[in-house]
Structure 1
Amino acid sequence: MKACLVLTIVLTAVRGAVLEKDAVGVDIQLYPTNGQLDVNPDVQLKLTFLSPPTIGSTGKINVYDSEDKNLVDTLDLSVPFSPSPYGNGSTKANYTDTTKYQTNIIGGLDFYFYPIIVRNNTATIYLHNNKLTYGRKYLVEIQPGVLEPARGSFSGFTLDQPWRFSTKSHGPKAGATSVVVAADGSGDFNTVQGAIDWAPGNPTKRTTIYIKNGNYEELVFWQYKSNITIRGQNREKTIVGYPNNSAFNPPNRQGPSRRPAFSFRGVADLQLSSFTINNYYPGQAEALLVDGVRIILDHMTLNGAGDALTTYGTLYVTDSKLTGTGDTVLGYGSAYWLRSRIESIGAVTWTRTVQGIHGNIFVDSTIVGLQGNSTLARLPDNSGGVMDNWPYAEMVIINTKTDGIAPEGWGPVQGPPFDSSHVRFWEYNTTDLRGQPIEISQRLNVSRQLTVPKDKEVIAEYKNPTNILGGWHPVVLEGYG
């Protein structure tokens, strides 16, 4: 089997870069360059050919410690990537499947992953996380069959003629509260995950991870780390993403979801600012899954598919944009949205609020149905009528502009025996994109229009994020912090 992922990502070779040669003299650009010093241990190995390569189905990539020749890491290309290597198979776990798949431990959780991804002429090799360490020299062996250029042949590297590099003598200084991620290796880390793995679990001072402009194609996941800011250099030019979904990474028997491109659980006091998160696969494929308390998304762009953003805990979203393909917000938590925009094919949210908390609250925001017939929230029969579904589901929109929303606005909502009397699908001063009032005569009867002066106090309550987020008053940190 050969696999070559084709995505609309442009990664070009650096002009004027030094060309190396493989074991039989084929020109190739390597990163790190052969013999390079002071390489970050989380480096991704890159080979840029004169023509696009394809990924083979045989051969191994081996990394050895130069001093003792011990094998540090190995990638076997005969091992399949996933039960659904193109993300288009079953989304259900097959617990009788005993096949060995390519697996990487990320943030303590096992994920199926691509050991190589090809973009244009560049093949990026993803070693298993945390295999390389500081202050060591490494030899890379790439066996024939691992990569096959469109023109010519690639015989790889041997232990007699290896690809060599050395890592930095040490990482960030003890007590450091900020680090830089740079894809070109000029920072403290090459990858976002490398910086997160370094970050202390519960620091007394806030930790800031600054991501330089670049395209970071990696799965990101961590658990039980708090008091962190992750800030991009430029919202449009700092891009973190991965092709992942519930077919490529089906559910485990226990543990968190593995289908998001970027996710975390059990965290507190986290701020994500000024970068883009993409999930490049269709289906159930979150760009971001949030599981924590006092989480801030500030000037973020999230592009996913179904369930593009899943929320647990408490979340404050400001000046951000989310795009998805239905149930675009799968909301279990309390989320306050300010001056933000959602674009959705199909239902904008499936709000699964439990009793005693608030759900999705939108203030001064914009909601767009991309195909002209979206609804704001739905509550379908999710249980065959044998349970209560989500009887306290809540979504409230205040002073929000809309476009492409069906005349009924809300739904579908499960009928009897489901009791919808506690559902809060409310809106106040909903307008079109020009600020003109919309027609509400066909609104679903489960929903409610708030009015003044009758609902003045209710509207004021919902406009205050502290009321929505369990008493937390969110403060967005500006600049480098």
Structure 2
Amino acid sequence: MRLVRLLAPILAIASAAPMLRALDSVRPSTLFPAPGSTGACIDTHLRLDFPSPVTLGRAGLVSVIDVASGRVVDSIDVSKRTDTRTIGGAGGFQVYPIITDGDEADVALHPGRLEYGHTYAVTVDAGAFECDGRPSAAIEGDRTWLFTLKPSGPQPGAARLVVAADGGGDFCTVQGALDFVPHANNRPVTILVRPGTYREIVFLAEKNDITLRGESRTGTVIEYANNARFNPSGGNPFEGASPDPSAEHVHGGHIYRRGVLLAHRTRNLVIENLTMRNLTPYGGSQAETIILNGATDARSILRDLDLFSYQDTLQMNGQAYVANCHLEGDVDFIWGTGPCYFESCTFRSLHSGRYFTQIRNPSTNHGYVFHRCVFDGAPGVANNYLSRIEADRFPYSEVVLLDCRLGPAVGARAWLVSNAHHEPVGPQPNLHFWEYNSRTLDGAPLDTSGRDRFSRRLHEPADAALIRDYTDPAYVLGGWNPLAAAR
């Protein structure tokens, strides 16, 4: 009897431990799709908002169950921080299936697991998430978190699709809308992306005549931490001295997978009025926001965009026109093969002694031309180069600045040629590092006396014909006039 009396408090504490742990656990304050809701998108993410900053737990499953059949149609293991998925028809993408940001956990389900008109239950194991060291409570049963999908999707051939992160559109993700557009599409399709943060890698290939338009330049944000370390590939065939963007099909092994958005073998693509951020931290390797792999007749247009990264922010291989965009980066953050024409854009370097561009055009097309653009940097940034090229690897490089303003972030030398068999001492026929009417930020004439002799300053009237040609986008872009493209 005495032993029982001694053990009783211990047994009471032990039996109460699960209850104490349950009382100490934390529950999400809101769930998306909302419990009991109808009309969810077929590509919906699951979102859990907690009362304080949330992180992933050590173990646990987030499961989705088809209520009618009782079958588990998808399951995400929180202990596996990354997953390999197919995006836009291309396999081998590494992704983060669950991303936590502040108080929110965003769960990206596997594509193609949900069906229109079906009702699903979501369960979450206890401890799958943590807040302030406290484990999350379990979400259990087939009636706690239920939602029903829309009865059907958009009509085939729809000319307008709406993406809304809050579930109020045809799709919840940009990729979902792009996947709806048929392969080899040649009918104009506009995808309107409503304000929200879209945490996804976007990939489209061999689909034409698509306009991807944000409803708010600053409020519509597509972002991801994707880079060459996270998604290495066998190399891009379009970065060489003689690129052929039309040669590599989507299932080839030599296509980059490291950007936030990659458009491969597309024509008449327009991306406008939104923000893209590659969240790869400084020093995290090559990390584009946009990669365009098109042909010299791709007719791509980028306008009214804000693009943020560090290394390789924008890569364009093929014909493109870029207008009224803001780009930030620090190493070769504008690069590719061209031909490309930039109008009224701003480029901001984030560190000193770096490079705005590296242009690797072949002899068969123009490189990159910048008209009425601004090259500057963050406070205190200095001694940056407008462009650099490794002449032994890429014998042709054309970078032309016309009526541009250059801030103190641009060094006096401005241009760099490296790895040449012989250091260039004068103008080079294969190298067009040219400027016309470069000015300071306040519009005063810029002192260019520190430039190397392999670069060239254009002057009127001697170079009037050359200046006139390069001021015309159609001349640079092989006869295509992007100004005639309808908005």
Matched, 1:376 2:386: yes
- Quote the offset at 1:209 in angstroms: 0.5
Alpha-carbon RMSD: 2.1
Unaligned runs of 5+ in 2: 1-21, 236-252
Cα contact 1:105–1:128 (8 A) shared by 2: no
2:118–2:148 CA contact under 8 A, matched in 1: yes
Superposition deviation, residue 445 in structure 1: 1.6
Distance (Å, rounded) in 1 between the aligned partners of 2:75 and 2:319: 41
Q: TM-score, normalising length from structure 1? A: 0.85
Separation in 2, partners of 1:72, 1:418 = 63
Give the alignment partner of residue 114 of structure 1, picking from 80, 92, 96.
Answer: 96
Residue in 2 that maps onto 1:356: 364
Contact kept in structure 1, 2:55 and 2:100, CA below 8 Å: yes
Of the three residues 107, 111, 128, the one matched with 1:125 is: 107
Q: Any conservation in 2 of the 1:296–1:476 contact (CA below 8 Å)?
A: no
Instruction: Give me the whole-angstrom Cα distance separating, in 2, the residues matched to 1:73 and 1:267.
Output: 32
CA contact (8 A) 1:302 1:323 kept: yes
**Cα distance in 1 for residues equivalent to 2:86 and 2:462:** 55
Residues in 1 aligned to 2:224 and 2:27: alpha-carbon distance in whole angstroms: 30
Measured in 1, the distance between the counterparts of 2:327 and 2:360 equals: 19
Aligned to 2:6: none
Report SS of the residue matched to 1:299. strand
How do 1:7-406 residues align onto structure 2 when only pairs under 5 Å count? 26=27, 28-81=29-82, 102-109=83-90, 110-150=92-132, 152-160=134-142, 162-252=144-234, 254-282=253-281, 283-292=285-294, 293-344=298-349, 345=351, 346-370=354-378, 371-380=381-390, 388-403=392-407, 404-406=409-411
Structure-1 separation of matches of 2:187 and 2:202: 23
- The separation in 1 between residues aligned to 2:484 and 2:382, in whole angstroms, is 34
Q: Alpha-carbon deviations, 1:147-180, whole Å to 9, x = none? A: 1222643232234555211100011123310011
What is the rounded CA distance, in whole Å, between the counterparts of 1:210 and 1:421 in structure 2? Answer: 45
Deviations for 1:401-430, whole angstroms, at most 9, x for unmatched residues? 111211111014333258854111111111
Partner of 2:434: 426
Amino acid paired to 2:396 = Y
Greater mean alpha carbon deviation, residues 419-428 or residues 395-404? 419-428
Which of 416, 419, 424 aligns to 1:414? It is 419
Shift of 1:181: 1.0
- 1:28-69 Cα offsets, whole Å, 9 max, x none, are 311111121110011111111122221023122222221112
The alpha-carbon distance between structure 1 residues 340 and 425, as it changes in their structure 2 partners (threshold 3 A), is same
Amino acid in the other structure paired with 2:44: V
Letter in 1 for 2:254: G
Q: 2:336 is matched by which residue type in structure 1?
A: G
Structure 1 residue 225: Cα displacement: 0.8
- 2:314 partner letter: L
**How far apart in 2 are the matches of 1:391 and 1:152?**
59
Cα drift, residue 472 of structure 1:
1.1
What is the CA distance between 1:252 and its match in structure 2? 4.5
In the alignment, the residues of structure 2 paired with residue 35 and residue 274 of structure 1 have an alpha-carbon distance, to the nearest angstrom, of: 34
- Which amino acid counterpart does residue 362 of structure 1 have in structure 2? F
Are 1:473 and 2:473 matched, yes or no?
no
Partner of 2:457: 449
Q: Deviations over 1:277-303 (max 9, x none)?
A: 111113311111111211001111111
**Do the aligned partners of residues 418 and 134 (structure 1) sit closer, same or farther apart at CA in structure 2, a change above 3 Å counting?**
farther
Find the aligned partners of 1:202 and 1:306 in 2 and give their Cα distance.
32
Contact 2:186 2:208 in 1 (8 A): no
User: 1:389 touches 1:418 (CA, 8 Å); kept in 2?
Assistant: no
Is the contact between residue 355 and residue 392 of structure 1 (CA under 8 Å) also seen in structure 2? yes
Q: Deviations over 1:327-384 (max 9, x none)?
A: 0112222110011111124111011111111001001111114411111100136xxx
Contact 1:276 1:302 in 2 (8 A): yes
Whether the 8 Å CA contact 1:241–1:262 is kept in 2: the answer is: no
- The CA deviation string for residues 183-238 of structure 1, in whole angstroms up to 9 with x for no partner, is 11111111111111112334443100011111112111111111011111111111
Of structures 1 and 2, the larger Rg is shown by 2
Equivalent-residue separation in structure 1 for 2:26 and 2:304 (angstroms): 48
Task: Using the aligned pairs only, state the percent identity.
Answer: 34
Counterpart Cα distance in 2 of 1:366 and 1:474: 21
Tell me the SS of whatever aligns to 2:175.
Answer: helix
Q: Distance in 2 between matches of 1:316 and 1:245?
A: 25
> What letter corresponds to residue 54 of structure 2 in structure 1?
P
Tell me how far apart the structure 2 counterparts of residues 133 and 195 of structure 1 sit (CA, whole Å). Answer: 16
- Equivalent residue in structure 1 for 2:443, among 435, 457, 479: 435
Residues in 1 aligned to 2:117 and 2:485: alpha-carbon distance in whole angstroms: 35
Q: Deviations over 1:434-465 (max 9, x none)?
A: 11111111101210111111111111111111
**Normalised TM-score (structure 2):** 0.84
Q: Distance in 1 between matches of 2:136 and 2:319?
A: 51
Find the aligned partners of 1:25 and 1:313 in 2 and give their Cα distance: 51
Which shifted more, 442-451 or 60-69? 60-69
Amino acid at match of 1:266: R
Aligned residues: 432
| Aligned mates of 1:114, 1:462 — CA distance in 2 | 44
Structure with more helix by fraction: 2
* C-alpha spacing 1:239/1:327, structure 2 compared with 1 (3 Å): same
For 2:173 and 2:28, locate their aligned partners in 1 and report how far apart those are by CA, in whole Å.
27
